[in-house]
Structure 1
Amino acid sequence: MRTSLRPLDPLRPEQRDASDPQALIWLSASAGTGKTHVLTARVLRLLLGGAAPETILCLTFTKAGAAEMAERIHRRLAHWAGLRDEDALKRDLTRLGEASDPEALARARRLFARVLDAPGGGLRIQTIHAFCQSLLAGFPAEAGLTPGFRPIEGREEAALARRTLAESQAERLDIADKAMVAAALGAVDQIGEG
């Protein structure tokens, strides 16, 4: 697989420190300041250091952030796997703060296949919500949930919100005919689905 990708941007000293897998860090910065670049570098350095892909978990706030990080990592690894220019690969590894000896170059070239072949789908890069949902799905009884539960989304969520609002208004207005309210709510739900 041959891919074209520009060289890694050099890491500033504080970014290199934050990307060091041996360091405990808390990374907080405004949008567009290079957080994804630093976190991507950190994952690449973890992999270069021998971490098993399936042991790496990256959590983001948004689906877009998770997708962006996964794409950057996979594109870089694919690029390294097909890169014929040894000097370019050495520059990338040096910019990460990693060794660029022949063994390191060979290891970098094998990482893409290692990630793709890893048990459980390899790297886990997901939102905090998706991670928590997977924990709840794995331990429903411990969380007090019915096994096989699923979160509500979209139309179902909107219908529940309308129903809850209508019920609270009915209680507030002390409407005696709860059956009439239930029928009206059913009609509202059907209209909302149409």
Structure 2
Amino acid sequence: MKILKIVFIMIAAVILTSCEKADPFEETDSGKNTLGFMLNGKKVEYQWTPVMPPAVYTMPVWAREYSNDTLEIFASLQSIEELRGADVITIALPVEKLKQGAILENVADIQLPYLAGSEQVDDYTRLYNEPLDITTSCVRIRTSKPGDVLSGTFEFEGDATFMDSTTKHIKVTNGHFDVKWEIYY
């Protein structure tokens, strides 16, 4: 029994050390499921966790087409303190416009929800999340192979309004994605 535990630990160590996080800022076209960007000059990357079988695991970055008209890119992010802990982004794109070399100005539906504030109600705290109010966006498609790979770059600007009446202007630049294009219909 003791030998079995040692073998299990050794196998787990090999698996964990052989798994490396891919660089989301590297321009690749291989469906590595990476996403990263600069938010007001600070690097934001997808949240990566090595998988240790038999754990249930969800990819931190994925792209899924649920109908013939929209492809959604989703990423779990490292917590963004500037947006009070925002930790997910979704970019919904019209499938018919996803052609290699396409430039999509103000076409993508980008969601970057953030914690706008909280209030104490009786003996619990109520949290209020709001979507970033996006004013301009641009997505450039580098590679588009439906059912296989989608890669490109993105940038956008918008405002976050908090419950304390403060507003923060957000500028996202140098955004990169390289995702497997999965079809779910």
Structure of larger gyration radius: 1
Is this a same-fold pair by TM over 0.5? Answer: no
TM-score of Structure 1 vs Structure 2, range by shorter chain: under 0.3
Q: TM-score by structure 1 length?
A: 0.21
The structure with the greater share of residues assigned to strand is 2
Structure having the larger proportion of residues in helix: 1
